[in-house]
Amino acid sequence: MFIKNIKAIRVIDSRGIPTIRTFVWTKNAVGCATVPSGTSAGKKEALELRDGGKKYFGMDVSKAIKNVNNIIKKNLVKDFVVDQEAVDKKLIALDGTKNKAKLGANAILSVSLAVLRAAASELELKDYEYIANLNKTKPKMPTPHLNIINGGVHAGNSLSFQEFQIVPKFKSFEETMKASVEIYLTLKKILEKKYGLSSTNVGYEGGFCPNLSSSSEALSLIQSAVDKCGYTKQVKLALDVAANEIYKDRKYLVDQKSYSSGELIDYYKKVIKEYKLESIEDPFSEDDYKSWSNLLKSVSKTKIIGDDLLATNPKYIKDAIKKKYCNSLLLKVNQIGTITEAFEAYNLAKSASWDVQVSHRSGDTEDYFVSDLAYGLSSDSLKFGAPARGERTSKYNRLLEIEALNK
């Protein structure tokens, strides 16, 4: 069960931008993983190494690929593939920086995940079974949040908030996806009738991008699609504001109007009540800490999810638990760079009785590692975008497959 060879190659993500895919071989198995990439990435995230220069407009990953094929390969070949923690510690030490800036978090993560998959295959386990063994969790199907209207930097429309989600709660994942698809296609019809066919063009995560004038209009259209399908009781709504992108000079620009933090808290309180929101992610910018704790004090029953605020980093999560900034963690493996540190982030959040939501990125690929991760960790929820576009459906389809084959 030793690592025999490692090779990284360049592939293309869902936005047409290069990313890194790595293969890890043992005597009897091969593990392969492709890393995703964010568009609205926060400044606390581990560093995604890109080349700069002219090729691929500066976005090539040839340096990260070289780091895997030279430094990392030389140091990991002959290591034990099933000791994930030792592999990850070695990767962290080889890099030696605080934010994985030397080798690149993209290089490091591709190896960490490919090692995990090679080990699972050697042990003849499904990836989710091996993840559950590693983190001592019991696999369970999470509740999906499906992003069916895209705004912010994920879309070419005027909506300020990035994600307008539905949160369907049904007994099986199959029923959950059936309802989601029905709502998605009903919303498409509503939009087409009201605003014309071009309003049903989709954004980075497969949600529609209508040019609406307000976020409450988007919520109201989604609610009418839910109601029309007869799922009013089983489906809630949720938001990812991605507030870093609308924060300037201590003000938030929402639907062409400027809000102070206090005014934005009042706005959130109103929409939470009106639309019975399940959760709000990144309601404030990543360093507007006081506003986070003020909001949590007044809406403690709603899930307030930290994405850019926490960057899946145990250091920031500890601080947020202590200072009561939020009550849920968004878990994105590429924000931190190794699976061992992602487990640590998960366990810390759980120790504070937080909810954990496993997430894809806006720049993603057909790789469905996050499906096995969410299921294996038994995370409370997950978000993989709309039920459309291959890089999103690969992840939902993986969960449909897991459920159907485990019946």
Among 88, 122, 240, 255, binds ligand PGA (CB under 6 A): 240
- Please, are residues 332 and 35 in contact by the beta-carbon 8 Å criterion? no
Is residue 389 close enough to count as binding ligand PGA by CB under 6 A? no
Is residue 40 close enough to count as binding ligand PGA by CB under 6 A? yes
Taking contact as CB under 5 A, which single stretch among the options 8-16, 52-60, 124-132, 233-241 is the one that binds Zn ion?
A: 233-241
DSSP letters spanning 211-276: --S-HHHHHHHHHHHHHHTT-TTTEEEEEE--GGGGEETTEEEETTEEE-HHHHHHHHHHHHHHHT
- Please, are residues 39 and 363 in contact by the beta-carbon 8 Å criterion? yes
User: Between 135 and 362, whose beta carbon lies closer to Zn ion?
Assistant: 362
How far from each other are the two terminal CA atoms of the chain, in whole angstroms?
31
| 189 given a catalytic annotation | no
Is residue 35 close enough to count as binding ligand PGA by CB under 6 A? no
User: Between 242 and 342, whose beta carbon lies closer to ligand PGA?
Assistant: 242
| Footprint of ligand PGA on 153-182 (CB under 6 A) | 162
User: Between 73 and 100, whose beta carbon lies closer to ligand PGA?
Assistant: 100
Among 39, 214, 234, 294, binds ligand PGA (CB under 6 A): 39
Among 67, 186, 362, 393, binds ligand PGA (CB under 6 A): 362
Smallest separation, CB 39 to Zn ion (Å): 10
Q: Is 99 helix (H, G, I), strand (E, B) or coil?
A: coil
* CA angle at 177 for the pair 385 and 375, rounded to the nearest 5°: 70
Q: Give the C-alpha separation, 145 to 242, whole Å.
A: 15
User: Between 31 and 144, whose beta carbon lies closer to Zn ion?
Assistant: 144
User: Between 16 and 93, whose beta carbon lies closer to ligand PGA?
Assistant: 16
Is residue 361 close enough to count as binding ligand PGA by CB under 6 A? yes
Cβ partners under 8 Å of residue 248, min gap 6: none
| Footprint of Zn ion on 307-366 (CB under 5 A) | 307
User: Between 264 and 305, whose beta carbon lies closer to ligand PGA?
Assistant: 305
Q: Is 102 helix (H, G, I), strand (E, B) or coil?
A: coil
Is residue 392 close enough to count as binding ligand PGA by CB under 6 A? no
Among 45, 48, 122, 240, binds Zn ion (CB under 5 A): 240
User: Left if phi > 0, otherwise alpha if psi is -120 to 50, otherwise beta: which for 242?
Assistant: left
* CA angle at 355 for the pair 205 and 229, rounded to the nearest 5°: 50
| 205 given a catalytic annotation | yes
Closest CA to 343 of 105, 77, 125, 116: 116
Choosing from 188, 332, 383, 395, the catalytic residue is 332
What torsion, rounded to 10 degrees, do the Cα atoms 160, 163, 167, 168 define?
110
What does each C-alpha distance from 66 to 54, 56, 237 come to in angstroms?
Answer: 18, 17, 44
Smallest separation, CB 154 to ligand PGA (Å): 6
Residues that bind ligand PGA (CB under 6 A): 38-41, 162, 240, 242, 307, 359, 361-362
Residues that bind Zn ion (CB under 5 A): 240, 242, 281-282, 307
Active site residues: 205, 332
